[in-house]
A and B are shown apart, each in its own frame.
Chain A
Amino acid sequence: NAGVTQTPKFQVLKTGQSMTLQCAQDMNHNSMYWYRQDPGMGLRLIYYSASEGTTDKGEVPNGYNVSRLNKREFSLRLESAAPSQTSVYFCASKPGTSLPSSGNTIYFGEGSWLTVV
């Protein structure tokens, strides 16, 4: 069972370079999310897509763009990477657009480690 798949797993970028983190889920989920995780900060929401065709900003959207390519795929783009974007990035998905619940669980990918030097 693939679940939520993120690529790449590890990436080192130079300041100013651009890159796209790819995410795909095979569970036919409607909602997809991008989070970043930093020490002592928990997970912070960057962007989310409640359903195919919609995207919205989360808590920390500056410096990022997203594309909900289709129901399966939700990509995160860094146009001009900065050292402050060094982090672990998690993609997640959820079946429905309603609140998380026992029947509407969020599933996370394994994370993408990004270092900007």
Chain B
Amino acid sequence: TQLLEQSPQFLSIQEGENLTVYCNSSSVFSSLQWYRQEPGEGPVLLVTVVTGGEVKKLKRLTFQFGDARKDSSLHITAAQPGDTGLYLCAGARWETSGSRLTFGEGTQLTVNP
């Protein structure tokens, strides 16, 4: 059972289009992170959101954390081929033995020129 569900799993769009990726859970997280991963490499952190309702912008990328801290979205404006990659959300929770990240399945984005 996946604790964090991402949708869509695959997205293929044309350059210049807008898109939104969703990350949903029935669990509350202390924070939520978004990563981008390119082929043959490990994930690289894009952003961390901590407060319910928080919105963060990173150039053409807008990240939002749900009010209840159970869901998040990533919106890309005017997508470019360089945005192509696997986008992963990850929720952080505190366990008695330390903090842990739980990842969603990922959204494979392809932006065609």
- Among residues 80 to 113 in chain B, which have CB atoms less than 8 Å away from a CB atom of chain A? 88, 90, 92-95, 97-106
Counting CB contacts under 8 A, is B31 at the interface?
Answer: yes
Report B85 CB to chain A, min CB distance, Å. Answer: 14
* Nearest CB in chain B: distance from A114 CB, A: 15
Residue of A nearest to B47 (CB): A102
Contacts known (A106-B101, A111-B40); A43 close to B31, Cβ less than 8 A: no
Q: Which of A65-116 contact B (CB under 8 A)?
A: 90, 92, 94, 97-102, 105-111
Taking CB as reference atom, which chain B residue is nearest A109? B42
Interface residues on B, range: 20 to 34
B50 at interface, CB cutoff 8 A: yes
A24-58, CB under 8 A of B: which get 1 and which 0? 00000001010100001111110010110010101
Report the contact-size class of chain A (Cβ under 8 Å from the partner).
Answer: 20 to 34
Q: How far is the CB of B22 from chain A (nearest CB, A)?
A: 14
Interface check B30, CB cutoff 8 A: yes
- Do A41 and B105 form a contact, CB below 8 Å, given A108-B44, A110-B41? yes
A45 to B33, CA, bound (A): 16
In the complex, are the beta carbons of A101 and B50 less than 8 A apart?
Answer: yes
Known: A31-B99, A42-B88, A58-B100. A99 touches B94 (CB 8 A): yes
Please name 16 further chain A to chain B contacts, defined as beta carbons within 8 Å, in addition to the given A50-B98, A56-B98, A108-B42, sorted by A numbering: A40-B105, A44-B103, A45-B100, A45-B102, A48-B100, A58-B100, A59-B102, A97-B98, A97-B99, A98-B99, A99-B99, A100-B48, A102-B48, A106-B33, A110-B41, A110-B42
Interface residues, chain B, with chain A CB atoms under 8 Å away? 2, 4, 6, 9, 30-31, 33, 40-45, 48, 50, 88, 90, 92-95, 97-106
